[in-house]
Chain A
Amino acid sequence: MSLLDYFRSNKNNTAQLAKERLQIIVAHERGQRAGPDYLPELRNDILQVIRKYVEISPEQVTVQLEQKGSNLSVLELNVMLPEDNK
């Protein structure tokens, strides 16, 4: 690394940014991959039902299937409702 690069690089280290973005998206996609194929659709359906009553965005609903032991799976549903919606 040259001296000039040294001063440039800290400000503008795009590789670090790339790594952080990748870690997040890859972890997210691995999570989805682990579940059954119907999970995204299930999540959408639940979102639609909730939207009949409250306006929420897709990020506010998380659906996760967790394997607990060999014959028990837990479907975890997490809905964040907006505060000012009364």
Chain B
Amino acid sequence: MARIIVVTSGKGGVGKTTTSAAIGTGLAQAGKKTVIVDFDIGLRNLDLIMGCERRVVYDFVNVINEEANLNQALIKDKRIENLYILPASQTRDKDALTKEGVEKVLNDLAERFDYIVCDSPAGIEKGAMMALYFADEAIITSNPEVSSVRDSDRIIGMLSSKSRRAEQGLEPIVEHLLITRYSPKRVNTGDMLSVEDINDILAVKLLGVIPESQAVLKASNSGEPVILDSESDAGMAYQDAVDRLLGESREFRFIQEEKKGLLSRIFGG
């Protein structure tokens, strides 16, 4: 049976799509049949981050409305075996996602894949609710910043009250916290919430800490999930997160400031 993982955050711009692309790609690289589904109806962007924007013909909503079948809408990744993308529609119809429609598509996907990664839109509107409703696991993406942490807490509340698992009294959704854009240097100077601070507030098991990194923008510029940049700090941090998701234990890297020479230690910068 497939595992459905929602990548969610509440707040926009914290790295949900970057994370969906990286984690999905990592799972496929680990040999798991994986599909990444873009739930951001009207603001499709996963296709750009994955570098397959020119190959979109049919989308999620077409499949729900039975204007196309899954085989027509799924885009096979050209780099990684076992990896597929189901793009969002660019329709402006807010009610395009129905609970029944989403359930049917997810059920069909579950027959063919090991992992279904749902890239949630920002906010707490219907698209975000549909993305988390059927989830077995959730990756709560948060920046070390007050509004993002607060919104994450709000989303955690929804995972435990508005999801299918909550409504039907099943085992609760397994929650993972992924902190992105982390800067150990700023934490040390007291300008940024630390991993421990965020954990104290949210109390969710930590899946990964992705450092603020040049590699993320470079990756999205070129349409390559950042995990494929395996030399980069962000790429390695995502790889660790994928390994932990698959049950491996990995030390947390990139959460300590890099050692500097004596002079720069004294004078800063």
Contact = CB atoms under 8 A, between A and B. Distances in A.
A8 to B, nearest CB: 7
Q: Is the interface of B mostly helix, strand, loop or mixed?
A: helix
B119 to A, nearest CB: 25
B150 A2 contact: no
Contacts of A5: 188-189, 268
A23 B189 contact: no
Contacts of A12: 190
A29 B201 contact: no
Contact of A30 (B145, B153, B188, B190): B153
Contacts of A10: 190
Interface string A38-71: 0000000000000000000000000000000000
Contacts of A30: 153, 157
Nearest to B185: A1
A15 interface: yes
Contacts, number: 64
Contacts of A14: 190-191
B201 A26 contact: yes
Contacts of A2: 264-269
A86 B266 CA distance: 64
Interface string A1-30: 111110011101111101101110110011
B67 interface: no
A80 to B, nearest CB: 27
A19 B200 contact: yes
Contact of B153 (A4, A16, A18, A26): A26
B187 A15 contact: yes
Contacts of B193: 15, 18-19, 22
B interface, how many residues as a size bin? 20 to 34
B167 interface: no
A6 to B, nearest CB: 9
A8 B188 CA distance: 11
Nearest to A19: B197
B149 interface: yes
Interface string B121-153: 000000000000000000000000110011001
Contacts of B191: 14-15
Nearest to B160: A33
A25 B146 CA distance: 10
Nearest to A34: B157
Interface in B240-269: 257, 264-269
Interface of B: 145-146, 149-150, 153-154, 157, 161, 187-194, 197, 200-201, 257, 264-269
Given A2-B265, A3-B266, 11 more contacts: A2-B264, A4-B268, A5-B189, A12-B190, A18-B145, A18-B197, A21-B146, A22-B150, A22-B201, A30-B157, A33-B161
